[in-house]
Amino acid sequence: MKKIIIICLFSAILVILLIIVSEISFRIFFPFCEIPDKVYYRRYRPNCSFWRKTKEFNNKYSYNTYGLRNPAIKLNKEEGIKRILVLGDSFTEGWGVDEEETFSRILERKLNKDTPKFEVINGGIVGYSPLIEYLFLKKEGLKFKPDLIILNFNNTDFEEERDFYKLSYEREGEIVAVSPYKGKKSFLPEEIKNFLDVNSYFFYFLNNKLPRAIFKLKTFLFQMMGKKIIKNKKPRFDYLQDYTKSWFLLEKSLLLIKDLLEKEKIPFLLVYQPLGHQTHGKEWDKGRQFYGLEEGEVYQDEVEEIFKKFCQKHKISCLNLLDFFRNSNDFPLYYSYDGHWTNKGHRLAAEVIYNFLIKNN
């Protein structure tokens, strides 16, 4: 009996030491900034930074005290300064380019080429869609006292919006949160799980990063064997097939944002960002193969017409970047495998948005 107790104690001490060593190792060698959030589904650790390296790019990602990939922000604007808050997903955040190369920062420089009068805040966060952007805007974004909101969306938002609504919570008929833990079974209570996710790098890796790593390894092995992961199917942002039927969730969120900004008397610009396979056969040529898309083909859908009708019906200022990207010959605007904008894509987006703002005063 005494031997069993000693073995159990020794094993417990060994497990605790292993966890401590793993936690320290992850903090030193494998830092990451993304953490779950019970209101916004996910966010970034304040004052956190890390390097994201792929075969196509190697960039440092630094986040300020508000968890945004933006220089430090003072809540109180200086006198005479106009503030633009840009919302969106990883395209807006700037996956694949340095912070100074994001279209938000380029736009700020262009607006201030004569006199420094503008601050452009990059509020883009990977995986966000209009529902999360509405919650962020209402709870955090308005604190920055923006003079203009620019919201970017693309076809990936259709699926993300559907998933976020399933994970949303309502209070008195109003959506107040989107939680990654809703409906998930776990031996740990949600509060403890969230605490560990936020404060333990090792636990977060086991719970979130490891499943993704396994999927990426599977993807790599399939590609090495020359197989497509998704056969005879449209890509994840097209699988809903009928955009008209699936648009209603996006419309609901966008109108929540519109109504909120009208109450605050803040102008609103809605921007449609095309994806690589919508612009040119040369763009996103390697990555599209993963989804079973045809090489060299330009895919067209009804979203452009839906977007146009929505803007006209609700009298929203809108800018469609699709034709500008299709008519550009400055390749590549998108990374071949990753599919996000290159620095050329960001420069083009900044140029088009800048011209639109100047033209519309």
Quick one: 7 and 106 in the same domain? no
Spatial distance between the Cα atoms of 20 and 145, rounded to a whole number of angstroms: 43
CATH at residue 248: 3.40.50.1110
- pTM (2 d.p.): 0.86
Structural domains of the chain, count? 2
Distance CA 346, CA 348 (A): 5
Please provide the DSSP assignment of 168-195 as one string.
EEEETTEEEEE-TTTT---SS-HHHHHH
Domain annotation covers residue 87: yes
pLDDT along the chain (361 residues), means of 10: 74 73 64 87 92 92 96 91 97 97 98 90 97 97 97 93 94 93 73 68 68 65 55 45 80 97 97 96 88 85 91 97 95 95 98 96 78
Judgement on whether residues 61 and 140 belong to the same structural domain of the protein: yes
User: What is the sign, positive or negative, of the torsion defined by CA atoms of 318, 323, 329, 335?
Assistant: positive
- For residue 36, tell me if it sits in a domain: no
pLDDT of residue 110: 96
Q: Where are the beta strands (DSSP E) in the chain?
A: 34-37, 41-44, 49-53, 58-62, 82-87, 118-122, 148-153, 168-171, 174-178, 268-272, 317-320
Q: Is residue 216 part of a domain?
A: no
**Are 174 and 262 within one domain?**
yes
Q: Residue 141's pLDDT is what?
A: 97
Residue at 82 is within a domain: yes
Residues 119 and 261 in one domain: yes
pLDDT of residue 262: 97
4 and 118 assigned to the same domain: no
Is 213 inside any structural domain? no
Statement to judge: residues 120 and 250 lie in one domain = yes
User: Token digits for 224?
Assistant: 């090495």
Residues 152, 108 share a domain: yes
Name the residue range of residue 98's domain: 47-182+226-359
Same domain? For 236 and 322 the reply is yes
pLDDT value of position 225? 61
The pLDDT, as a whole number, for residue 261 is: 98
Q: Is residue 205 part of a domain?
A: no
| Residues 85, 25 within the same domain | no
Contact 130, 151 (CB under 8 A): yes
Q: Judge if 23 and 62 occupy the same domain.
A: no
Backbone angles phi and psi of 84, in degrees to 5? -115, 125
- 231, 292 contact by CB (below 8 A): yes
177 plus 271 within the same structural domain:
yes
Position 13 scores a pLDDT of 76
Does one domain contain both 53 and 26?
Answer: no
Inside any domain, residue 122 = yes
319 within a domain of the structure (yes/no): yes
